[in-house]
Every structure is written in C-alpha cells, then in structure tokens.
Amino acid sequence: MNLEIRHLKVVCAIADTGSVTKAAALLGLAQPALTAQLQRIERRLGGPLFVRDRRGARPTVLGELVLSRARVLLPAMKGLEDEAARLAGAAQGPARSRFGSVNSPILGGLVHRLAAERPEAQVSTYGSWSVEELVRMVLGGRLDFVLCGACGGAVPSGEAGMVWRAVSVDPVFVMLPETHPLATLPEIALADLAAEQWAVARGDGCFGDCFVAACARAGFTPRTIYEADARGCLDLVDSGEAVGLCQAATRPVAGLVARPLAGAPLRWRLMLGWCADAPAARFADVVFQHAVASYTDLLARNARYRSWLRDHPGFGVQDGAGEEPAACRVGRPTDAPYAPPV
C-alpha cells in the first residue's frame, strides 16, 4: 500500500479528536473500517502511531513525526487544489459564471440577463442557507459570485479578500394573508403584531438579533418563531399560522400581501460579493450592473413598493455604490441567530 493524502487525514483526525471512535464519526466512517485503515497505515510506516488506552489515543514518537509532516502537507495540498480551481476558472474567463445565493430575489433575473447577453456562456447556481459556506467556496475558487443579504450596516462576511457591493437598500416588510385584519392598512406598526407567531427563513447572520431588538423597542418579545425554507415560510403565512418578514422588492404572491412596517425599523441590503484576487473580479462591474437591472425588473412588477420608494429617499438602488469601505468589513460573530426575510 502506498501512503496517500487521505491516510494523513486519518492520522490527523485521530490526533485531533484523541479517539478512534470520534475520528470515525468525524470522517463519516464505521469504527472497524477506520481501525483497519489505521493498522494498514502503521504497517506501511513500520510501527504504531498511537498508544490507545482508556484515556483515548495519544501519538507515539513515530506518530508525532508523521503528524508534523502531515500538518505541513495537508494545507499545501489544499492550497494547490484552490489555485488549480482558480486557474481553471481563469481559463474559462467570462464564458463561465458560477453564482452562490441565499434566498436572493434577483438571482433568476440576473441569470436570465446573463444568458440573454451571452447565450454561449455557462451559468451555474448553488443555493445555501449559509453565507459563510458560499464565501469559502468563492475564496476556494469553486464559485465566482455570491448573492445574499445583510441587515442594517453589517457586511455578510468579514473574510479577508472579499469585496461587497450593495445593489439596494430596502425596508423589511411584513407578509400577511389577504384575510388578515391588518392586511388593508397602508402600513403596520410592529407593536400591533405582538400577538402573532412568525415564520422565518434559515440562515447565518445577525438579522435574528436585529429583529428581536426591534420587537423589544416596540414593547414586546416575539412569540413562536417557525424556521423553514422560503417556500415553507410562504406556506405558513398562507395557512394563517404565522406572519412573515419579507424583502420589500419581492414580487407579489397570490393570496398574500406585503405591508411596510411603520418607521421602517428593519432594513435589508441586497449584496453582491466576489474575491478581489480571482479572475471573476475583472467582470464584477458588468455582473453588478446586471444585478441592478434585475432588481429594477422586480420593481416594475411591484407598483405598491415603487410608490413607497417615492416617499422614502435613501432606499432602493444605491446609485454609484462601490466597494464597501474597510470599516464595514469587520468580522461579526457567526453563531448569532438569524431570521432573514423571505
């Protein structure tokens, strides 16, 4: 048997967890299979790599030697894979665009515009609830752009190397069934929703904290919060079980109405992000203009929100928006509860 990178990952996993059982769970293997693999590795290297007893698995002198080499080789191989992926992307140039998205209402319009402009181009999409996952994929060369949102003045991710531009700044609306007693009002005070249950979409970020803080300022703590994907949130609202927070620019949904919250206590920025050093950065301005046009297309189908924008300067498309200033790239905690608008 020849020693391979996967074998080094096994050795590191056992050392990091201090247990063959825990390492097997981490690697998604059965414990007997991992034990047999470790024995083959030890036979190839000429001796035991771990002392195993009731206290767990501890590296031997030979194990420490293998670990010292593995902890150099594994990051080097990961770097090689990432650079190779970026080089492959550079070879494709603008003929290929790979987008990651978290519940972005402009994804469909953006893909449609890019495909219409260059029918021969390959456009692919990847959906996730985690901005951090998408950012890692961009920095690793597996995606070119991220479409997502951020509340208030936050940035979606503070990872070094990422550039973020705001397509729009929008208030967060509340979505209700047409039959709801408040559905006929032109705007709704957040305090008037104190007795409601809420439907929220899953994600990672700080919007959940912002929402709870806004409710506290309105004098109440939100009741039950149902977490679901975007389609599930719409179903919960349509059934009358909950009300939902929604992006103001989202197209109307039959049977449901979106109403502004009085005073716009919550705001949401649609963001486009990319890696500053990646080949795709050369085409970011073009993609950004298509993103703005896709947002404008949404507004064309939403007369009520267009009317609201006329009376509220500062919201909507961010004319002349450029790269976020460095102060806006400060990292934020990634374990905060998150309830992004649908």
309-321, pLDDT tens digit by residue?
999 988 998 754 4
* 134-154 pLDDT per residue, tens: 999 999 999 999 999 888 777
* 169-223 pLDDT per residue, tens: 999 999 999 999 999 999 999 999 999 999 887 665 556 778 888 999 999 998 8
Domain boundaries, the chain: 5-88, 96-342
Alpha-carbon dihedral sign for residues 215, 219, 225, 231 = negative
Q: Which CATH architecture has domain 96-342?
A: 3-Layer(aba) Sandwich (3.40)
Single-letter amino acid, residue 35: T
Which residues are within 8 A (CB) of 66 and not within 5 positions of it... i.e. 6 or more apart? 8, 11, 45, 49
* 116-140 pLDDT per residue, tens: 888 888 899 999 888 999 999 999 9
SS3 string, 61-124, reads HHHHHHHHHHHHHHHHHHHHHHHHHHHHHHHHHHHEEEEEECCCCCHHHHHHHHHHHCCCCEEE
- Topology annotation, domain 5-88: Arc Repressor Mutant, subunit A (1.10.10)
* 24-67 pLDDT per residue, tens: 888 888 888 889 999 999 999 999 999 988 888 999 999 999 99
pLDDT for 245 beyond 90: no
How many Cβ atoms sit within 10 Å of the Cβ of residue 88?
A: 12
What pLDDT does 16 receive?
93
CB 73 within 8 A of CB 5: yes
What pLDDT does 304 receive?
86
